[in-house]
A = this chain, B = another copy of it.
Amino acid sequence: MTDQNIKPTQSEFEILQVLWKLGPSTVKRVNEALNEKKPKGYTTTLKIMQIMAEKALVTRVLDGKFHIYTASHKELQVKKTLVSNIVDQVFEGAAMELVIQTLGNYKPSPLEIIELKELIAQYEKTKN
């Protein structure tokens, strides 16, 4: 087990998404990115990022006059944790229910079907 205490809030997660996309960024840059979707005060973003630094969700480095923030965890890692929590809390551990549920809601495109079949074929090779 690595660092299993990755529990960003909604706002924190949105900031992480920006950092994953843009790479290490200043508060200003992150705030601008956030504002493309929804107006956020600059100091609001700042505050949350400061809290994220306390929680070690991000690291920051002083570069001249401003800080440069970097996500502490990889996107895949965080999403994996989130999905794992959903599986446990919503589906009581039954991951396949989540898969079926999702496939039921969103009909995969022909291309995605191919993708899926390949993924499944790989599982079949790996004998259980």
Contacts of A115 in B (CB 8 A): 96, 100
Each complex incorporates copies of this chain amounting to 2
- Given A10-B89, A120-B116, A96 contacting B107 (CB threshold 8 A): no
A47 within 8 A of B: no
A80 within 8 A of B: yes
A109 within 8 A of B: yes
Contacts of A112 in B (CB 8 A): 96
Whether the pair B90, A98 counts as a contact (CB closer than 8 A) is no
A51 within 8 A of B: no
Report how far A1 CA is from B128 CA in the complex, Å. Answer: 42
Contacts of A101 in B (CB 8 A): 79-80, 83
**Chain A, 85-128, contact with B by CB distance < 8 Å: what is the 0/1 string?**
01101111001101111111111111011011101100110101
